[in-house]
């Protein structure tokens, strides 16, 4: 009698299987929905996922990459625990959100071209209008999955510091909770 060892799936095999499943009945016209599903599950679109989507849909990598980089909703790098989106629409821009964006970069100690804080708690993104111009200037904070979303209006530098402190506290609490969970047998 031969023993069979079943290894747990690796991230790569799980990614391949997930993309194979969501593209099984998909066509080229479904590309955006497929990319949305991949990003919803993994938080961003890594290069390998783009390659797998292209292969499974029968389109070129450059077409998939073009769509992923054209639409603002897609991320090609892993996000922080919390994503801060700064509205750059006309109303928010006129009320100082460009300055808020630069202040956030300073407060998060981000270098030019950097979008993720050193502690990986925050990602920073410029965004288009959120449709709440009467609250300008506006920022939106989401978690990395997009399941949590909070809109902040009339934001100034003092408000930015409060918001960052609030989410740093949440991140610390979550980290402590996960650490306790690892020390004990913990079921989620």
Asked if 154 and 107 sit in the same domain, the reply is yes
Mention every residue, 6+ apart, whose C-beta is less than 8 A from residue 96.
Answer: 137, 156
Asked if 134 and 176 sit in the same domain, the reply is yes
Asked if 52 and 111 sit in the same domain, the reply is no
Asked if 90 and 145 sit in the same domain, the reply is yes
User: Token pair 């708690």 is at which residue?
Assistant: 121
**Per the domain annotation, does 156 fall within a domain?**
yes
Q: From the CB of residue 101, how many other CB atoms can be counted at a distance below 10 Å?
A: 22
C-alpha to C-alpha distance for 120 and 116, rounded to whole angstroms? 6
**Per the domain annotation, does 1 fall within a domain?**
no
Asked if 126 and 88 touch (Cβ cutoff 8 Å), the reply is yes
Would you state the structure tokens that stand for residue 33, as one six-digit string?
């929905």
Asked if 42 and 87 sit in the same domain, the reply is no
CA 146, chain centre distance (Å): 7
Q: What is the pLDDT of residues 94-141, one digit of tens each?
A: 999 999 999 999 999 999 889 999 999 999 999 989 999 999 999 999
CATH code, domain with 156:
3.40.30.10
Asked if 39 and 96 sit in the same domain, the reply is no
First CA to last CA across the chain, in angstroms? 38
Would you state the structure tokens that stand for residue 126, as one six-digit string?
């410029």
Domain count, the chain: 2
CATH code, domain with 26:
1.10.10
Asked if 88 and 168 sit in the same domain, the reply is yes
pLDDT band for 9, please (50, 70, 90 cuts). low
Its pTM stands at: 0.75
Asked if 120 and 166 sit in the same domain, the reply is yes
Full domain range(s) for residue 124: 82-183
Asked if 97 and 119 sit in the same domain, the reply is yes
Strand partners of residue 116: 123
Q: What is the pLDDT of residues 63-103, one digit of tens each?
A: 999 999 998 889 898 999 999 999 999 999 999 999 999 99
Tell me: pLDDT of 185 over 60. Answer: no
Q: What is the pLDDT of residues 14-31, one digit of tens each?
A: 999 999 999 999 999 999
C-alpha to C-alpha distance for 171 and 167, rounded to whole angstroms? 6
- Note the pLDDT of residue 180: 67
- Note the pLDDT of residue 95: 96
C-alpha to C-alpha distance for 75 and 94, rounded to whole angstroms? 27
Asked if 20 and 63 sit in the same domain, the reply is yes
Q: Which residue has the higher pLDDT, 39 or 147?
A: 39
Asked if 105 and 157 sit in the same domain, the reply is yes
**Which residue, of 70, 92, 109, is where some domain finishes?**
70
Asked if 23 and 99 sit in the same domain, the reply is no
């Amino acid at each position: 009698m031969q023993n069979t060892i079943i290894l747990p799936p690796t991230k790569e095999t799980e990614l391949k299987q997930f993309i194979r499943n969501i593209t099984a009945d998909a066509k080229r016209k479904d590309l955006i929905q497929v990319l949305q599903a991949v990003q919803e599950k993994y938080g961003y679109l890594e290069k390998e996922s783009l390659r797998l989507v292209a292969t499974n849909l029968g389109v070129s990598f450059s077409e998939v990459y073009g769509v992923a980089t054209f639409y603002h909703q897609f991320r090609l790098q892993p996000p922080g625990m919390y994503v801060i989106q700064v509205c750059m629409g006309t109303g928010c821009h006129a009320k100082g959100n460009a300055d808020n964006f630069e202040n956030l970069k300073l407060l998060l100690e981000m270098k030019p071209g950097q979008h993720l804080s050193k502690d990986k708690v925050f990602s920073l993104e410029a965004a288009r209008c959120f449709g709440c111009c009467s609250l300008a200037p506006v920022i939106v904070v989401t978690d990395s999955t997009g399941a949590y979303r909070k809109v902040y209006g009339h934001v100034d530098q003092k408000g930015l510091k409060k918001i960052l402190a609030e989410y740093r506290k949440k991140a610390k609490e979550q980290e402590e909770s996960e650490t306790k969970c690892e020390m004990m047998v913990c079921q989620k």
